[in-house]
């Protein structure tokens, strides 16, 4: 479990690493701990998988990956593991999740995000995934508009705020 210091470290780190010569020293000062302790804590978080990745979050549209499509697949229950692993192995697949469908009209249980430089690249990838996996019941959902995209601010709720107000 995370203690209070851990949570404070999360709060400070999620604001971003400052562009100064000794950024961890600056952050450690804000936390009232030593630079050494902060570095050790970050290594700890990485080792435990609390931090999944430590680095730059980039705007992939600006890097030429302008096309993306969410593809939802209806995979027979007993083949989920195999098909999930197969799709995850593709470079074009950035995210691959098993999700439990909540309505009978929506049978899709495997969710992939596919990125490409053009829509054609996406179509080609989806076709290849379908052929290789043998899963033919799928839908492609292209994004029409980004309505919100932000990084989560963890542990940022005021402590005495009632749940329904945030």
Site for other proteins in 71-90 (CB under 8 A): 80, 84-85, 87-88
Using the rule CB under 8 A, is 55 a contact of other proteins?
yes
Question: Cβ distance 65 to 116 under 8 Å?
Answer: yes
C-alpha span between 52 and 45 (Å, rounded): 9
CA 16 to each of CA 19, 50, 94, 154: distance values in angstroms, whole numbers, following the listed order: 9, 16, 23, 13
Min dist. Cβ of residue 136 to other proteins (A): 18
Binding mask 107-136 for other proteins (x = CB under 8 A): ----x---x---------------------
Q: Which residue, 131 or 142, has its beta carbon nearer to other proteins? A: 142
Q: Which residue, 19 or 136, has its beta carbon nearer to other proteins? A: 19
Determine which residue in the list 4, 104, 146, 159 makes contact with other proteins, applying CB under 8 A. Answer: 146
By CB atoms closer than 10 A (0-12, 13-18, 19+), residue 138 is middle
């Amino acid at each position: 479990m995370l203690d209070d210091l851990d949570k404070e470290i999360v709060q400070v780190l999620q604001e971003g690493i400052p562009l100064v010569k000794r950024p961890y020293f600056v952050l450690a000062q804000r936390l009232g701990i030593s630079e050494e302790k902060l570095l050790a804590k970050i290594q700890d978080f990485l080792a435990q998988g609390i931090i999944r990745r430590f680095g730059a979050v980039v705007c992939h549209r600006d890097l030429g990956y302008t096309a993306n499509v969410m593809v939802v697949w209806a995979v027979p229950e007993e083949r989920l593991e195999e098909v999930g692993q197969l799709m995850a192995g593709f470079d074009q697949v950035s995210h691959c999740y098993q999700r439990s469908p909540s309505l009978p009209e929506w049978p899709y249980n495997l969710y992939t995000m596919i990125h490409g430089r053009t829509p054609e690249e996406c179509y080609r990838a989806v076709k290849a995934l379908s052929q290789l996996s043998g899963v033919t019941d799928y839908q492609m959902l292209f994004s029409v508009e980004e309505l919100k995209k932000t990084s989560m601010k963890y542990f940022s709720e005021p402590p005495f705020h009632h749940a329904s107000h945030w």
